[in-house]
Structure 1
Amino acid sequence: MLSTSGLRALAAFVDHGTFGGAADVLGYAQSTISQQIRTLERDAGGLLFDRNAGPSRSRLTSLGRVMEHHARRVLHELDTAEQAVIDHREGTGRLTIGTFQAVTTMLLPALVRSLTEESPHATITIVESEGPRPDLTSTDLCFFDSPPQRPDHGRRIVADEHLLLAPLGTFPAGTIELDRLRGRRMVALPPICDQARVERALADADIATEIVFRTADNHALTAMVEAGAGCAILPALSISPSAGITIHRLQPSIPDRQIWAQWSGSFSPLAERALSHATAARTRLLAEAADRVATR
């Protein structure tokens, strides 16, 4: 079995040319380096140095060159792994966040700014997805619009009220009765996740609408409403206010979209801080959502 101490001794000996030089850089006695090299030669089954090359600098044998090549690769990977463990423990490592559109625009900019100020050497990767399930296998923390399923973990970040978007002049200011949407042309998100729950709530209320356009782009939906293509029901944090639309509460209301942070297994210190920042943003997000309701 090849030892990492022997591989380090080999690399240091090649770099510095003598047992003494290798001993100085590794912090060992020269006799220890000599013993590590002899042990490595025994484990490798042959000589690593041509000791007849002269006193100034030993040359590697063919086996020695093979061993040096692989030793440097192994030591590089080992050093990288050791540094990754230190970074993880100190909260300065890698963090992958799963997100969706509203969270990307309303929550993550402030969260990422705080994390990068606290840990400027951290590597933060953000993956946006509009899939039907959260990706907890390749993310450390994933924001999603439903609670987690066991054995995964989660924390609710905010309840996001559903509001009606209408072309300017369609409805008077104020709350709109849900029944007034019956038979209306609508533009909508794809029928998954929260949108599926919206459409189920309409069906339960026996309100049939005509969906004329679907897209996962919240800004495109707002533009289509402004253009007169139809009305839309969106969570408040997904709405981009515009002079060409009015925004209304609904009566009866449609159940709020629940934005959760989810994760699987244990947390890194960096992920723990990200969750803490997300939780602390709840008051701000609620205020942002309340601002979406038109007063005209």
Structure 2
Amino acid sequence: MADLDLRQLTTMLAIAEEGTFSAAANRLGYTQSSVSQHIAALERAVGGAVFDRPGGPRPVRITPLGAVVLEHGQEVLAKADALGQAVDRFKAGEGRIDVGALHSVSHAILPTVLRLLREERPRCEIRLSEPDEPRLGELDLLFYDGLISEDTEHVLLMEDPYLVVAPPGTLPSGPVSARKLDGKAMVAWPATCDQPRLEQSLADAGARPRIVFRSAGSETMVSMVRAGMGLAVLPWLAIHQVVCRDCGAIHGPEGWPDLRVHELDPAPARAIYLHWPPGRGDQSPLAARAVEVAVEVARELAQQAPAARA
């Protein structure tokens, strides 16, 4: 069976549908002798005749062995066609990629990247996840705030500055010294990702806030600040879409006080990286384009960030 090839199965299917070798040859653009050679090679591969040949213009009849070969041969041809289409979509950048991202990147950078990719490649498939650990695993791309320990290729997308979110009057207007946070109640992210480094940088600046609540959700943290639990130090990407450009306030539901956003001095920032498996040349066109789009989106966002306006 190792000698069996797709041309032989294609020829057999054409003969079965057309009824004669000559009609199949016309349909396929082969000579009749080529058709005969294909079937002879197929019969040697399967060890028996696949057609009864009555001779003359009369239609051929498929043998019982031929019926078995044809049934499974049609499945093979269908899978080969599907494979060819999948390869064509892959080369056209319309395949599938698996992307992992931490929450605030999913909230800010990733939606724009996805929209642009889908506009360019409507048939592409993108599967998303928020992994618990900074590992590529089976992912094609991973957005993460820092470098990961695996051997990956990566690009720095942007520096994302941390800002203080507090009720009005809690802190002086404008940028505030990190020391002003010392001893104050603070809601914070869990001690994962870049959070330990942030808290260490505050401590190095002389600020040791009292952590009264931790949550992985930026919206939950802002709600806790509104509830009077304390202030929060959040990266700009996590809150930039709800910060009023005119007054610097975060506008909440009716009846809730607005919150103020302050820049920090010194200004800590987290580094947002995009990681992918080593060997850029082995990337699919879709994954390679996703990297390019992410770099473009992040560059535009970085121009809006406080550090870019300083």
Q: 1:16 aligns with which of 7, 15, 18?
A: 18
**2:284 counterpart of 1:268:** yes
Task: Tell me if the contact between 1:99 and 1:126 (Cα under 8 Å) persists in the aligned partners.
Answer: no
Q: Distance in 2 between matches of 1:20 and 1:215?
A: 74
1:108 alignment counterpart: 110
Q: Distance in 2 between matches of 1:54 and 1:99?
A: 68
SS in 2 for 1:247: strand
Paired residues for 1:115-130 under 5 Å:
115-121=117-123, 123-130=124-131
SS in 2 for 1:146: coil
2:272 alignment counterpart: 259
Shift of 1:179: 2.5
Deviations 1:69-125 (A, max 9, x none): 32222222222222232333333333333323332332233333333333333x131
Count, aligned residues: 290
Paired residues for 1:77-92 under 5 Å:
77-92=79-94
Task: Tell me if the contact between 1:84 and 1:93 (Cα under 8 Å) persists in the aligned partners.
Answer: yes
Task: Tell me if the contact between 2:96 and 2:127 (Cα under 8 Å) persists in the aligned partners.
Answer: no
Paired residues for 1:189-268 under 5 Å:
189-205=189-205, 207-239=207-239, 240-241=242-243, 242-243=250-251, 244-254=258-268, 256-264=269-277, 265=279, 266-268=282-284
Deviations 1:200-244 (A, max 9, x none): 334555644333333322222222222222221111011143232
SS in 2 for 1:233: strand
Q: Distance in 1 between matches of 2:55 and 2:207?
A: 92
For 2:209, give the aligned amino acid: T
Q: Distance in 1 between matches of 2:100 and 2:18?
A: 47
Shift of 1:276: 1.9
SS in 2 for 1:73: helix
1:280 alignment counterpart: 296
TM-score when normalising by structure 2: 0.81
SS in 1 for 2:48: coil
For 1:147, give the aligned amino acid: L
2:134 alignment counterpart: 133
User: Which sits farther off after the overlay, 73-82 or 34-43?
Assistant: 73-82
Deviations 1:114-173 (A, max 9, x none): 33333333x13141314231425232x322211355632111111100111112332221
2:146 alignment counterpart: 146
Q: Distance in 1 between matches of 2:14 and 2:149?
A: 52
SS in 1 for 2:146: coil
User: Which sits farther off after the overlay, 153-162 or 273-282?
Assistant: 273-282
* Alpha-carbon RMSD: 2.9
Q: 2:77 aligns with which of 75, 78, 82?
A: 75
Q: Distance in 2 between matches of 1:261 and 1:6?
A: 47
Task: Structure 1: state its 5+ residue gaps.
Answer: none
TM-score when normalising by structure 1: 0.85
Task: Tell me if the contact between 2:178 and 2:206 (Cα under 8 Å) persists in the aligned partners.
Answer: no
